[in-house]
Chain A
């Protein structure tokens, strides 16, 4: 009889481990074994071996709708599993009090990845989603093998402040967010209405405050061993491309790609170009 190698997943937290950054290889290769009752006495035991390379796609202040369409495209074209969580507190969901920082949110997603039992995960984040991705990478989560930052905020870069959007009129905000703002006025179903963006503003403030950055973050990324791909819209009026270039210059394994026809939300304005950039890094 076939007996699968069953290993306790609690090994992840085994205090006897001598290093926090290496993990037993058999941990990730243990198949997930389930038994299914298919009726009429038929029970089938299945050992599930999954070597796919999933994505965790994290939205920014524009909410989950701002990454939904790109999530479909990413999954279809790369034949990948794409997880798009809604940050607690966005779009009417509950946010517990202890989730009051981007770092806390990153811990939540590390726990989520462990429960999902997915490996070789590429975390893709737009705007504050990029900040969450960076904090998640800094946790040393063994399931995360790389991050893609799309017009990410969160870093404090001298000479390049993050634009404060809290007091802006919708038209002014759109002018900063898009390469071709006229195509994405409120009511255009391809992009989020500016009203939605403002509705999520309080949750946004709870996570990251008005400054939209953590002065310690840039320095902490100097020790990051994971590969980081930074992708920036040339017309981003929230965080300029030079902000992204400065972050890329700090990180050891980084690559910077500029998208000429995008602003702060390339996944909405130039999804095909963004997909190509994620898939084809020219090194």
Chain B
């Protein structure tokens, strides 16, 4: 299925370099704001919590404070990736929602009008950006995504296990600029400790296959609460384990362990970051001081980066 959505003409119109800037801002957990090919895409929205489903870190925006989105990518129906009850409050229900078949019905039920079903190896386009669903495995039906636009290629891993099918991505998509990967190796204790998510070492092994320029871990701060972490879920909440493993297995890839709200920009060929000034201008007034606060603490993130370079 291929659908084209007209580009918003109010977007910046500076000359498109060979490869344009790519910016990703982790909102929290595996919810990222991805800015690629002149568009803004949101992955796996999660804005609320329950006592046993907790992001374990601040979620760095409210739904109202989100910038205008051009698309929403959902990997599967679990609450921490598909918080449609909350996200139904987003201001534009005509925004394209891209999701596997298991999510389509509930996306329509939440009021979204442009819901596009993608299964593994299906693709759709939004303006100049092509989104291809790729395989995933998580105990429930899950897809992952490859997002391509203006010379940039991103892999979004949701919270999949590392499955052999993912080894085929480089032959199909070539070079990856960015990989967003889960690392907590979540196991479910009442299911005899069954593993549901790739762990830090497996994620680093996948990095060694994809060879992205930059890899950002996510999905590691999740907690089920004091008792739930002992009785329901078993997770690794240390992102540096991933960074250390990548340093050994794929030393050419830079790992950025980022606090929610910290934008990471891979600059355009001409060195012009296209998106950051626009974000600063458009995000709500209440949001800017918070981002400024995070930037003032960027030393934390830089330290982590130094540790693995």
Contact = CB atoms under 8 A, between A and B. Distances in A.
Interface stretch (B43-51, B91-99, B173-181, B212-220): B43-51
A281 B58 CA distance: 28
Chain B interface mostly = mixed
Most B CB within 10 A of own CB, among A22, A28, A142, A255: A22
A146 B227 contact: yes
Contacts of A146: 51-52, 225-228, 231
Nearest to B56: A51
Given A122-B227, A145-B227, A25 B28 contact: yes
Given A22-B49, A25-B48, A145-B52, A120 B231 contact: no
Interface string A1-26: 11101000000000000110111111
Interface string B127-168: 000000000000000000000000000000000000000000
A107 to B, nearest CB: 17
Interface string A195-233: 000000000000000000000000000000111010000
A29 B58 contact: yes
A22 B85 contact: yes
B50 to A, nearest CB: 6
A23 B231 contact: no
A283 interface: yes
B47 A24 contact: yes
Chain A interface mostly = loop
Interface residues of B, number: 33
Interface stretch (B196-204, B275-283, B286-294, B300-308): B286-294
B58 A145 contact: no
Contacts of B85: 18-19, 22
B226 A145 contact: yes
A5 B283 CA distance: 14
A18 B54 CA distance: 18
Contacts of B223: 120
Given A22-B50, A25-B48, A145 B225 contact: yes
Contacts of A3: 289-290
B59 A2 contact: no
A18 B88 contact: yes
A1 B290 CA distance: 11
A109 B59 CA distance: 28
B241 to A, nearest CB: 20
A283 B225 contact: no
B51 A226 contact: yes
Nearest to B88: A18
B51 A144 contact: yes
Contact of A24 (B52, B62, B293): B62
Interface string A28-54: 110000000000000000000000010
B59 A142 contact: no
A143 interface: yes
- For the complex of A and B, 6 pairs with smallest distance between CB atoms: A146-B227, A145-B225, A145-B51, A25-B59, A22-B48, A227-B231
17 contacts: A1-B289, A2-B293, A18-B85, A21-B50, A23-B49, A24-B48, A25-B58, A26-B59, A26-B62, A120-B223, A145-B224, A145-B228, A146-B226, A148-B227, A227-B228, A227-B230, A281-B231
